[in-house]
Amino acid sequence: MALRLYTVVIDCHDIAAQARWWAQTLGWKIIYEDPHEVVVIPQAMTADPIGRLEDWLAAGQGMVFVPVPEGKTVKNRLHLDLAPHSSQDREAEIDALVARGATRLDIGQGEVSWTVLADPEGNEFCVLSSRER
């Protein structure tokens, strides 16, 4: 038996803005939007039903943005790691994220090969070193 990681859910105040920010960051698309949730998935992923279990288990995951009244107050216990391809300029990618509203963070990580950032609503994520897999 196996379960599929189906979605990562992000609590936020402005679900439309956060969904658009993350969709642009990842090159994904919005497939559903109402006042209670916004769903984004990879460009190559379909919103159509997947009949075969093997295909369904192999499909990627999406992100769902849902509204919450409270603000973020402590460090995330779970975060996303993003990585540029070795052909990309990692620092330029980080600068572009910051220009679009991300913030560089020092959470005590010291000298490491990744950069800690926060999205426009303060959710931490990391940009790893460039890689090919």
Q: Domain residue spans in the chain?
A: 7-67, 80-127
What pLDDT shows up at residue 71?
A: 86
Contact 96, 49 (CB under 8 A): no
Q: What is the pLDDT of residue 46?
A: 87
Token output for 60: 């990627």
pLDDT in tens, the chain (133 residues): 689 999 999 999 999 999 999 999 999 999 999 999 999 999 999 889 999 999 989 898 999 999 999 988 888 889 999 999 999 999 999 999 999 999 999 988 889 999 999 999 999 999 999 999 9
Q: Which pLDDT value is given to residue 73?
A: 87
- For 20, the enclosing helix (H) or strand (E) is helix 15-26
H/E segment holding residue 25: helix 15-26
Which helix (H) or strand (E) segment is 16 a member of? helix 15-26
How much is the pLDDT for 35?
96
SS3 94: helix
Q: Give me the residues paired with residue 11 across strands.
A: 66
Supply the pLDDT for residue 74: 87
Pairing assessment for the beta strands 7-12 and 62-67 based on DSSP bridges: parallel
CATH architecture of 7-67: 2-Layer Sandwich (3.30)
Residue 120 CB contacts under 8 Å (≥ 6 apart), including other chains: 17, 18, 21, 101, 102
On the CB side of 82, how many CA atoms lie within 13 Å of its CA? 20
pLDDT for 1 equals: 65
